[in-house]
Structure 1
Amino acid sequence: MKVLLVNKFLYPAGGAEAVMFLIWRTLEADGHTVIPFGMAHPRNVLTAYDKFLAPGVSYRQPMGLRAQVALARAIWYSPEARERLKRLLAEAQPDIAYVHNIYHQLSPSVLEALHEAGIPVIMTLHDYKLACPNYRLYTEGRPCMRCVGDGFHHAVLHRCVQGSRLKSLVCAIENTLHRRKGAYRSVAYFIAPSRFLYNIMTRAGLPENKLLHWPNPVDLPPVPRSRDAGYILYSGRLVPEKGLWPLMRAAQRLPQAEFHLAGEGPLRPELEAWCRHQGLFNVRFLGFVPPEATPKLIREARCLVMPSEWYENCPMAVLEALAHGVPVVASRIGGLPELIAHGQEGLLVPPGDEAALADALSLLLSDPVQAAAMGRRARKRAERDHAPRPYLDRLLALSAELLRHDSGTQRISFLDPYR
């Protein structure tokens, strides 16, 4: 089978890309042809289809008003991404498309091209974008559900996108236009990696007969754990919604514990300055850790900590810890309780509760035997719920079902999108 993989980034940028590359590798190992489509970027994996890639788009570089207007229009609908994809489809002739993140840089214009070519689409939802203009259901320092099932004007009123009313307006218009146009009606199935996200999407108007709850897959290393170096690992972006301030205050309560923070983000300078001011020398900021170095960092940790204060979906950092036989201490929020049973594969604490977080971490630090037992159960859970082979078998079976019909994109009637 010839499979088109669509994602705006074709390099390791985050959890969505980790899932995409795992599917890519597994498909090719099975003898399928993988045809990638996304944006041009110097870090991309090189393929024979690079000439068809959409131009790279960056929202961080300064630009004039005319360029900003053009960029906003491309966010809503990118004719160039659509035309590049049409040329790729004409040459490569894929059978089916697995779509991941397309928002902003590619836009749903690529779905239009796929629909016109009669190619069925299965789309994995890695965030809350279809229900929330800022993707995260989080604003003003706390979780937010205002736009779910309601108008997206709340995003403008509360400046939900980077604290900017203008950027919030652009993204609110994006969501509103796509909803009114039915921009996602040609998607045959949506994969929701967590039950929490599944429920949010039904509230946002996606019909349940198009939604599937499939937890993300993760690579299972043959040797899950070599040694326990005893440190506490945080792996992720350094941003407010990740609960890093409660983590810092928990570290302050545990001066004998060693905390390793792997990742970059806008909060890093402030966190480092606070640690210096507080004389907190047990926190190490590792910065960006390349993918090839991440497994060793995970498997030597006493535990992974995910103190998030936003609605996590199905984070790959947690799945990677489970796969390596490392217990997880996480907030009881979003999809996290679906991945960890309290006292089994790790411990769950109320989000933002630094005392409870410190107590949970202290328990695992003081009892390596219990931590190791949780780690063994974590590995078994990864094998049971997140193994790549069963995931891909389901995906291929679903693809075969769609391809047996003359027009997979219209096989299931799509109720008025996002009613």
Structure 2
Amino acid sequence: MVTLHDYGLVCAKKNFMHLGANLCSGPAPAKCLPCATGHYGAVKAAATSLGNWASSFAARRVVDRFIAVSHAVARHTGLTQGRAPYDVIPNFVPDDVEVLGPEDACLRGLPGSEFILFVGDLTRLKGIDVLLQAYASLERAPQLVLVGRRVADTPTEFPPNVLVFNMWPHSAIMHAWRRSLFGVLPSVGPEACATVIMEAMASGKAVVATDIGGMPDIVDHGETGLLVPSGDAQALANAMQTLLEDRALLARLEATSLAKVERLKAGAVVTRIEQVYR
């Protein structure tokens, strides 16, 4: 039994993005080696790609059953076209994830009024550039709070109304979710199974996310949040503006998120995993 938490069965980089810019159409030596070289360098790319192909070939022949954490993982790794049995079972959050611990000093930097929250690496793959473009077009927008790790392609400058915090402890992030107005996860890459959305839902928050990867498995459009096309700044802005202006809709999404997150907690998900192993 093997659980696929990412696209590593077919992608040496594990993110299923060709040359870091576009969703991959599937593995092929002529594509994978140049793509991996841009990520790892020539020597490591060759070793990593060859090792990945060999392990994938072996896994498909010796593994009795796969568990994919989303339908996107099952589809992009070829499970849906293969012969190997598989199940789709998501990641999960702890049963008590919504229980808040002591407040960390870093929380003092949060706005005292409403704010929109993004949590994740501050990278183009997570849609930071698209988010900043969308946010700039909002009318009467509250502050935007970004909590995450700075990487090589993180923007060097941010607008005045955008607050950026680096690598907070998980307990502080959960406090931030509770205080936020709603969350946004505009990834342009196919997130395998974004637990950050589950944490927002457990905090009773709606999320605007992109309809790529495993996010449609978690976000029920119009029920627990809103889904928009990846890379579409205007669609993202429209969805965010909708939640800013339609507070009745926002309240309904919040209530549904809080109810539906129960199926994504450890108690429910682990039971499903145990059933597969029986």
Q: Indicate whether the TM-score tops 0.5.
A: yes
State the TM-score, normalizing by the size of structure 1: 0.58
Tell me: CA distance 1:199–1:163, structure 2 relative to 1, closer, same or farther (3 Å): same
Equivalent-residue separation in structure 1 for 2:97 and 2:217 (angstroms): 24
Q: What letter is aligned with 2:34?
A: L
Q: Does the residue aligned with 1:321 lie in a helix, a strand or coil?
A: helix
* Shift of residue 243, structure 1, vs aligned partner: 1.0
* Shift of residue 220, structure 1, vs aligned partner: 4.2
Note if contact 2:98-2:174 (Cα within 8 Å) is conserved in structure 1.
Answer: no
2:118 is the counterpart of 1:234: yes
State the TM-score, normalizing by the size of structure 2: 0.85
Q: Does the residue aligned with 1:311 lie in a helix, a strand or coil?
A: coil
* Shift of residue 229, structure 1, vs aligned partner: 4.9
Aligned to 1:212: 87
Taking every aligned residue pair, what percent have the same amino acid on both sides?
Answer: 27
* Shift of residue 374, structure 1, vs aligned partner: 0.4
Aligned residues: 265
Equivalent-residue separation in structure 2 for 1:267 and 1:257 (angstroms): 28
Aligned to 2:205: 326
Equivalent-residue separation in structure 2 for 1:123 and 1:339 (angstroms): 22
Tell me: CA distance 1:167–1:364, structure 2 relative to 1, closer, same or farther (3 Å): same
2:223 is the counterpart of 1:316: no
* Shift of residue 345, structure 1, vs aligned partner: 0.8
Aligned to 2:23: 143
Aligned to 2:106: none
Note if contact 1:250-1:358 (Cα within 8 Å) is conserved in structure 2.
Answer: yes
Q: What letter is aligned with 2:136?
A: Q
Residue in structure 2 matching 1:194, options 63, 70, 86: 70
Aligned to 1:94: none
* Shift of residue 379, structure 1, vs aligned partner: 1.3
Q: Does the residue aligned with 1:305 lie in a helix, a strand or coil?
A: strand
Note if contact 1:330-1:348 (Cα within 8 Å) is conserved in structure 2.
Answer: yes
TM-align CA RMSD: 2.5
Aligned to 1:274: 157
Higher RCO (Cα < 8 Å, 6 or more apart): 2
- Report which of the two structures shows the higher radius of gyration computed on alpha carbons: 1
Aligned to 2:109: none
* Shift of residue 189, structure 1, vs aligned partner: 2.8
Tell me: CA distance 1:128–1:161, structure 2 relative to 1, closer, same or farther (3 Å): farther
Q: What letter is aligned with 1:244?
A: I
Equivalent-residue separation in structure 2 for 1:238 and 1:186 (angstroms): 38
Q: What letter is aligned with 2:77?
A: M
Q: Does the residue aligned with 2:130 lie in a helix, a strand or coil?
A: helix
Q: What letter is aligned with 1:290?
A: P
Q: What letter is aligned with 2:88?
A: H
Equivalent-residue separation in structure 1 for 2:180 and 2:146 (angstroms): 11
2:266 is the counterpart of 1:380: no
Note if contact 1:240-1:267 (Cα within 8 Å) is conserved in structure 2.
Answer: no
